[in-house]
Each structure stands twice: as C-alpha cells, then as structure tokens.
Homo-oligomer: A and B are copies of this chain.
Amino acid sequence: MRIAYIDPVGPKGAYYFIKNELERFVDQGNNVDFFCLKRGPDNLEYRYYEALIIPDLIHLLLDLEGKGYDAAIIGCFFDPGLDVAKEMLTKMIVVGVAEASLIIAKTLGESISIIVGREKHIPKCIEVIKTKGIEGKITSIQSLGYKVNDMANNSVISELIEKKALEAITNDLADVIVLGCTLEVGHYEELQQKLNIPVIDPVVASLKYAEFLVEIKNTCKWFPSKKYAYERPLEEDIISQRIKELFYY
C-alpha cells in the first residue's frame, strides 16, 4: 500500500519531522511518502492561505492518484480541500487529519477536548467540526497561544500542551485529548503516558485511518459516494473548460 502525506504548505513551511513520525508508525509492508506543495505560504493559519493552496493541493492529489497511490493524507487540522478531494478522486482514498482524529476520539470516550495552536484557530475549528457533522461529544477547544510556526521544534510546547490537557481534564471533564495541529506531532506518547488517557496525534491518526480506509476500499469496495455531495464534474467538461491549461501550476 502506497500512502502520500501532504503537508499542504510551500517548501519552506514543510515540517520534515513529520516524515520520521510517519515512518515510525506506518504498517509494515506499507510505504509512506512525504510531500509538500511547490509553492505556498509556510502556514495555513489564515483562511486566505488555506484558499490559496487548495487548487494546487487538489492537482497534486489527482497526480498522486494517477501515479497509483492508494491514499493521501491532507496534513492540516482544518482539513483543507477534503470535501473537494472526495468529489474529484475516483480511486485514491483521501483522509483529513481532523476527521481521522475526531472519529477515533469518539470511539474512545464520551467527551473530547481539542488543543489548538491559538485563539484564531478556534472559530475555524468549530466550523470544520460543524460541517463534518461530528460536533457531538466535543466538550471544549483549548488554545496554546502559539502560532503554528512557533510550535515546531519548540521544547516549551510539550509542557504547555500538558498544562492545557490537565485543565481540559479537570474543568471540561475530557475523556480524550485531541492534538489539534500537526505541528504538535511528537508529543503524544509521553503525554498519553503521563495523563493516562488517550491522546490523539493527528498525524499518526490520519496515517492509521488511511490504511484502514484503503483496506475497506479493497475488501468491501467502500469508497466515497459520488451520488450527490461528491458528484464529480465530467472529465469532458473539465477538458472543454481548459482547466488544466488555466489552473495548473
């Protein structure tokens, strides 16, 4: 099984530490490749930055599908372009890190607290949860007060996440903690051991969920429905509109 993990930012923003983590957790026999975009900002904290990268992201996904990848992961907790990808892809599985993390969390407890980078992320996070129809059981969203780019390779972050997680457990009665940013990668195991409740790392969660969705696609032919929400434009329509010439970078 070939899986692509896309850090949907430009080359300067790509956080290669994620690659190590993916390799640690990928199922034996499977292969995971790390990608970023050819152009793009170094973070997706802003709706603008997110909007900018979605077309390239979709085109990269279509390209990976053509190259025979079994699944691709969109590596940002806002799941940018996830619904677009479900509409466009016809063979390759696509996974959003938020969707994967929250689905797993729901199975593990009755109240979930999400820890995001900073307050700016909270309204967007609420919107993501609402549009996915998974708002049930989510009890609070905590903020670390850190910009995404300041979280990478930052030794303080681990302690801060722990502090916020403890608050979520005590005040919001959280059964499960979800780390609400891929830049919080690398902390979950230590934290989980300390807190003694499940701590979901979105990078790892999405990798395992991708493997699962490929497995059920292969075994059961379960693949996103193309009926209504994800009905795809006809290929001939895309060609006649000259989308490739006009929009591919």
Binding site for B on A (CB under 8 A): 10, 25, 27, 39-42, 45-52, 54-55, 58, 81, 83-84, 87-88, 99, 103-104, 106-111, 119-120, 122-124, 126-127, 130-137, 169, 173-176, 188-189, 192, 196-198, 200-201, 204-205, 208-209, 211-213, 215-216, 219-233, 237, 241, 243, 246-247
Q: Output the nearest chain B residue to A224 by Cβ-Cβ distance.
A: B108
In the bound complex, do residue A27 and residue B215 qualify as a contact, i.e. CB atoms below 8 Å apart?
A: yes
In the bound complex, do residue A232 and residue B46 qualify as a contact, i.e. CB atoms below 8 Å apart?
A: yes
In the bound complex, do residue A119 and residue B81 qualify as a contact, i.e. CB atoms below 8 Å apart?
A: no
A29 to chain B, nearest CB (A): 11
Q: Output the nearest chain B residue to A209 by Cβ-Cβ distance.
A: B212
**Number of copies of this protein chain within its complex:** 6
In the bound complex, do residue A225 and residue B132 qualify as a contact, i.e. CB atoms below 8 Å apart?
A: no
Contacts of A176 in B (CB 8 A): 225
Known: A103-B103, A219-B208. A230 touches B109 (CB 8 A): yes
Q: Output the nearest chain B residue to A13 by Cβ-Cβ distance.
A: B241
A184 to chain B, nearest CB (A): 15
In the bound complex, do residue A107 and residue B111 qualify as a contact, i.e. CB atoms below 8 Å apart?
A: no
Whole-angstrom CA separation of A196 from B232 in the bound complex: 14
